Chains A and B, each alone.
Chain A
Amino acid sequence: AQSVTQLGSHVSVSEGALVLLRCNYSSSVPPYLFWYVQYPNQGLQLLLKYTSAATLVKGINGFEAEFKKSETSFHLTKPSAHMSDAAEYFCAVSATNSGYSTLTFGKGTMLLVSP
Chain B
Amino acid sequence: DVKVTQSSRYLVKRTGEKVFLECVQDMDHENMFWYRQDPGLGLRLIYFSYDVKMKEKGDIPEGYSVSREKKERFSLILESASTNQTSMYLCASRTGQGRQPQHFGDGTRLSIL
Contacts and interface: CB of A to CB of B under 8 A. Distances in A.
A115 B102 CA distance: 33
B99 A44 contact: no
Contacts of A43: 4, 90, 104-107
Contact of A107 (B40, B50, B101): B40
Interface in B64-106: 90, 92, 96-99, 101-106
B43 interface: yes
B90 A100 contact: no
> On chain A, which size bracket covers the interface?
20 to 34
B30 interface: yes
Interface residues of B, number: 28
Interface of B: 4, 9, 30-31, 33, 40-43, 45, 48, 50, 56, 58, 90, 92, 96-99, 101-107, 109
20 contacts: A9-B40, A32-B99, A36-B104, A43-B4, A43-B90, A43-B105, A43-B107, A44-B90, A44-B92, A45-B104, A94-B99, A95-B98, A96-B98, A97-B97, A99-B97, A100-B56, A100-B98, A106-B42, A107-B40, A108-B42
